[in-house]
Amino acid sequence: MGPDHGGRLNRAARDYDIPVGDWLDLSTGINPRPWPVPAVPTEVWQRLPEADDGLDAVARRWAGAPPHAGCLPVAGSQAAIQGLPRLRPACRVGVPQPGYAEHAWWWQQAGHTVVPVAHDAVDGQIAELDALVWIHPNNPTGLAVPVDRLLAWHATLAARGGWLVVDEAFVDPTPGISLAPWADRDGLLVLRSLGKFFGLAGLRGGLLLAPQSVCQALDQVLGPWAVSHPTRWLMARSLADTVWQTQARQWLADAASALDTTLGRHGLPPAGGTPLFRYCPHPQAATIHHELAQQGILVRLFEQPSALRFGLPPDSATLERLDQTLARTCHATTS
């Protein structure tokens, strides 16, 4: 069985015997105010997707990728996470610890040796690695390693034919730190997602920006029509909607700051995060997680190290509900 994830609301509803509709789900880093999805024309549902539909140009412009970089739409960045390890012979790959666990799992499934690395240990370990996955910014900690450091890691690996795979699923609130502008360099692979910032996790849309040869190889592994026509159509429109993107960045920044105030008031000051989620280490994280769930609020629990991750409440009424629930919960755990 693969790693566990947030967003399993049906399971929580069963475990705690609370109807799905009564929950406040803060267990993911998905924007609770999604890009407003328009009606998809009937012919888009009817016709097979075609690679020359113009999505490529929109996606490059949106990401700031150079003209010679490859750009492959994928069914969520998860599809690339699963497929990329199949493109290399068995090697030693570093993965961030803590970090989104799917990377380690799929490299391991493909027969590679996985080496968990802390951000401050990469420089000491990089000589022993053939590939390094970096989550930028990290999920769950929110840590963002400076771009020049990532480029230095890339240069070290690429000089030996190695890869730096940069998972930028959560970069959209801060696009200035993306490595997409360097995605034509040999051995630099950048993953983007439409699931988080755009709030469209169910769409299953993402991108691989990388040298053309790598995009072509992954395309072959994934096979024809791997991204549905409605998904491609909606990707092109959401990526081109810069007005919505600017407004969303502002709202996320404001909502994250309001959430920090609430969490801080209850002894859970975030140690990090991104505007899409806040990361709160706490020795009694498991107890708080359970007590919140008993009251219909689902957050994400991490055991190593002991921490909670809070997604953004969609509005002031739900923030208020969290505030009141925490007032009962944290009181219980600290008294």
Q: Is the dihedral of CA 318, 321, 326, 327 positive or negative?
A: positive
Name the residue nearer to ligand PLP (CB basis): 4 or 43. Answer: 4
Instruction: Looking at the chain, list the stretches that DSSP marks H as alpha helix, in order from N- to C-terminal side.
Output: 9-16, 42-46, 55-63, 77-83, 102-109, 122-125, 147-158, 212-222, 229-240, 242-265, 285-294, 316-334
Confirm or reject binding of residue 34 to ligand PLP (CB under 6 A): no
Which contacts (CB < 8 Å, 24+ apart) does range 171-174 have? 171/136, 171/137, 172/196, 172/197, 172/198, 172/245, 172/249, 173/197, 173/249, 173/252, 173/253, 173/274, 173/275, 173/276, 174/137, 174/144, 174/274, 174/275
The DSSP result for 8-45, as a single string, is -HHHHHHHHT--GGG-EE-SS---SS---PPPPPHHHH
Taking residues 293 to 312 in sequence order and writing x for each that binds ligand PLP by CB under 6 A, - otherwise, the string is: --------------------
Phi and psi of 91, rounded to 5°?
Answer: -150, 180
Binders of ligand PLP among 200-219, rule CB under 6 A? 201, 206
Binders of ligand PLP among 145-184, rule CB under 6 A? 167, 169
Residue 334 beta carbon to ligand PLP: minimum distance, rounded to whole angstroms: 30
Name the residue nearer to ligand PLP (CB basis): 106 or 182. Answer: 106
Confirm or reject binding of residue 77 to ligand PLP (CB under 6 A): yes
Taking residues 86 to 125 in sequence order and writing x for each that binds ligand PLP by CB under 6 A, - otherwise, the string is: --------------x-------------------------
CB closest to ligand PLP, residue no: 76
Judged by CB under 6 A, which of 27, 31, 78, 141 binds ligand PLP?
78
Name the residue nearer to ligand PLP (CB basis): 18 or 80. Answer: 80
**Binding segment toward ligand PLP, per CB under 6 A, in 15-23, 55-63, 176-184, 193-201:** 193-201
Instruction: Quote helix, strand, coil % in the chain, to nearest 5.
Output: 45, 15, 40
Tokens for 310? 């809070």
Name the residue nearer to ligand PLP (CB basis): 206 or 270. Answer: 206
Q: Which of 165, 163, 87 is nearest to 130 (CA)?
A: 163
Tokens for 116? 């968990």
Judged by CB under 6 A, which of 31, 82, 139, 238 binds ligand PLP?
139
Confirm or reject binding of residue 273 to ligand PLP (CB under 6 A): no
Judged by CB under 6 A, which of 76, 85, 270, 272 binds ligand PLP?
76
Confirm or reject binding of residue 135 to ligand PLP (CB under 6 A): yes
Residue 225 beta carbon to ligand PLP: minimum distance, rounded to whole angstroms: 18
Residue 88 beta carbon to ligand PLP: minimum distance, rounded to whole angstroms: 19
Judged by CB under 6 A, which of 193, 238, 245, 274 binds ligand PLP?
193
Q: Give how far the C-alpha of residue 175 lies from the chain's centroid of Cα atoms, to the nearest Å.
A: 14
Beta strands 131-135 and 92-96: pairing type? parallel
Distance (Å, whole) CA 253 – CA 272 = 14
**Binding segment toward ligand PLP, per CB under 6 A, in 74-82, 84-92, 216-224, 230-238:** 74-82
Binding site for ligand PLP (CB under 6 A): 76-78, 100, 135, 139, 167, 169, 193, 195, 201, 206
